[in-house]
């Protein structure tokens, strides 16, 4: 299977919370990242979490990490139409700086 897996699509209504899930296989993952890609644009780093942390909150964003299950999630509170984009989960592994990406989750927010 893939090193980093994500569900491909999520649709929510404006004002609801969105939860995007990610699983990874490598136990040597050190940092896990969430990137956002809007149509026709580059990747924007949203947030990251160190592998010995369980949770990180940054304004509307909450990252939860279950290291035992190798499961990462990104919760977006009060989702807005401007949050519509593709969200990529990514990891770095001990000793390596390169990112291994998931295939991305397309979030569609409807009014």
Partner 1 sequence: DTAVSQTPKYLVTQMGNDKSIKCEQNLGHDTMYWYKQDSKKFLKIMFSYNNKELIINETVPNRFSPKSPDKAHLNLHINSLELGDSAVYFCASSQDQASGNYEQYFGPGTRLTVT
Q: Contact positions toward partner 1, by CB under 8 A?
A: 30-31, 33, 35, 37, 41-45, 48, 50, 86, 88, 92, 94-95, 97-101, 103-104
Q: What three-state secondary structure class fits 14?
A: coil
Q: Annotate 73-99 with DSSP letters as a single string.
A: EEEESS--GGG-EEEEEEEEETT----
Least distance from partner 1 to the Cβ atom of residue 68, Å? 21
* CB 28 to partner 1: min, Å: 11
Give the residue with the Cβ less far from partner 1, 59 or 97.
97
- Beta carbon nearer to partner 1, 9 or 13: 9
Complex with partner 1: residue 18 or 102, whichever CB lies closer: 102
Cβ–Cβ under 8 Å, residues 67 and 76: no
CB atoms within 10 A of CB 9: 11
């Amino acid at each position: 299977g893939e090193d980093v897996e994500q569900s491909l699509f999520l649709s929510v209504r404006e004002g609801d919370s969105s939860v995007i899930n990610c699983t990874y296989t490598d136990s040597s993952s050190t940092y896990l990242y969430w990137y956002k890609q809007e149509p026709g644009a580059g990747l924007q780093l949203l947030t990251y979490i160190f592998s010995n942390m369980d949770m990180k909150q940054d304004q509307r964003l909450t990252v939860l990490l279950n290291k035992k299950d190798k499961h990462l999630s990104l919760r977006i509170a009060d989702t807005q139409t401007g949050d519509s984009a593709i969200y990529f989960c990514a990891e770095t592994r001990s000793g390596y700086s390169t990112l291994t990406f998931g295939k991305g989750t397309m979030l569609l927010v409807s009014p």
